[in-house]
Amino acid sequence: MSVQLRPVLGTLPPYVPGRTVPGAIKLASNETPYPLLPHVVERIAAAAAAANRYPDNGSAELTAALAAKFGVAAERVAVGCGSVSLCTQLVQAVADADDEVIYGWRSFEAYPIITAVSGASSVQVPLRAHVHDLDAMAEAITGKTRLVFVCNPNNPTATAVRRDELVAFLGRVPANVVVALDEAYREFVTDPQVPDGTTLLDEHPNVVVLRTFSKAYGLAGLRVGYAVAADPAIAGALRQTQVPFAVTTVAQQAALACLEPEAEAQLMKRVDEIVHERDRVHRELIAMGYDVPPTQANFVWFPLGDATTDWAAHCEQRQVIVRAFAGAGVRVTISNAEENDRFLAAARELAPTPH
């Protein structure tokens, strides 16, 4: 007799990480192209010396630093093993087996996985012109809805919803439904009309903002993210559903080092450089004839439909690894100028019109 596993495992969509291919440039995982700051490396090395001891289970020092950064009480902050783990914990905290989780689609591919694993039901609301259709999402809310994810900027389409439409949407969401503003790419936003979710917390007690140190702060390999909640009960629930000791001492200390004023200033300068490159790449792609939506993230989106897989394969033949979402499109991470130029050369060869 074989072991009995949960039937849902047979239907789970796989999470497909960006591939690394020797000799090729990797533009598939939205990582920063820059190495860690020397100051951060030193803190990591010092923290690693204490790896024989368990980490602080509550990440108290990092929680306090984040609370100070955002001017909120520490009880409103929760630290997790990357923002995706906080997404998982949030679903576990609010949704039972007969409940519903709403999110736009296509959006972050972990949403359907973590919802299914928790036993809740996914309600996927199609995007409109590559952007969250907030009116349709509001209309999709039922008595079974417990959580709504709004990925802003959206992964993988790089688009963002603006303040007026987001505030109007939040006004339509019942008070007992949690809205998670997933802002993993917030630091790359340059459109002043795209709100910082933490500025909406005082007026909307059912909102929680999720952020990460993986992107702008360059700690993708260490797995540390955080949540800032309007209601301390939400942050408390995230702490309750966290796997014990999930955030390592090394990760906590690296994040603290990144938050120190001089280090954070250097990191935000790097963000500015990526944004400059992003805008350049976007302009050149438009000039080549590509239908690339506006981007507020550190990547660009090619809505290629049925041509997606072939286009990504042709990029790989040119030693450029991109992230293909079969039947939908290709996401390409913005890197440094040299790697971006290599990608643009490949894109020019594959462009829909001669150039």
pLDDT in tens, 191-224: 999 999 999 999 999 999 999 999 999 999 999 9
Mutual orientation of helices 60-70 and 249-259 as an angle, nearest 10°? 30
147 neighbors 121 (Cβ within 8 angstroms): no
Q: What is the pLDDT of residue 1?
A: 64
Query: What residue type is assigned to position 77 of the chain?
Result: V
Of 205, 191, 249, the residue nearest 223 (C-alpha): 249
Q: What is the pLDDT of residue 2?
A: 84
Q: How many residues does the chain have?
A: 355
Of 87, 95, 90, 100, the residue nearest 155 (C-alpha): 87
Rounded Cα gap, residues 206 and 227, in angstroms:
13
Cβ neighbours of residue 35 closer than 8 Å, sequence gap 6 or more: 218
Angle of CA points 302, 304, 305, to nearest 5°: 135
- pLDDT (mean) for 314-343: 98
What are the structural domains, with CATH classification, of the chain? 7-35+262-349 (3.90.1150.10), 38-260 (3.40.640.10)
Q: What is the pLDDT of residue 17?
A: 81
pLDDT digits (tens, 9 = 90+) for 25-43: 999 999 999 999 999 999 9
Q: Where are the alpha helices (DSSP H) in the chain?
A: 38-48, 60-70, 83-94, 110-118, 134-139, 163-172, 232-240, 249-259, 261-288, 308-317, 337-349
- pLDDT (mean) for 106-113: 97
- pLDDT (mean) for 332-350: 98
- Higher-pLDDT residue of 105, 4: 105
Radius of gyration of the chain (CA): 20
Is residue 288 scored above 80 in pLDDT?
A: yes
CA 118 to chain centre: 20
323-325, strands of its sheet edge to edge: 299-302, 329-333, 323-325
Cβ neighbours of residue 107 closer than 8 Å, sequence gap 6 or more: 127, 132, 149, 151, 154, 155, 156, 157
Cα→Cα distances 30→93, 222, 317, 319, Å: 28, 15, 21, 17
Provide the 10 A C-beta neighbour count for residue 267: 22
Query: What residue type is assigned to position 226 of the chain?
Result: Y
Rounded Cα gap, residues 88 and 120, in angstroms:
12
- pLDDT (mean) for 164-170: 98
CA 24 to chain centre: 24
Rounded Cα gap, residues 193 and 164, in angstroms:
8
Q: What is the pLDDT of residue 353?
A: 64
Q: What is the pLDDT of residue 7?
A: 87
One DSSP character per residue, 284-344 reads HHHHHT-------SSEEEE--GGGHHHHHHHHHHTTEE-EEETTTEEEEE---HHHHHHHH
Mean pLDDT of the chain: 96
Confidence of residue 20 (pLDDT cuts 50, 70, 90): confident
- pLDDT (mean) for 90-113: 97
Angle of CA points 198, 101, 292, to nearest 5°: 65
Is residue 355 scored above 60 in pLDDT?
A: no
Q: What is the pLDDT of residue 354?
A: 52
Q: What is the pLDDT of residue 81?
A: 97
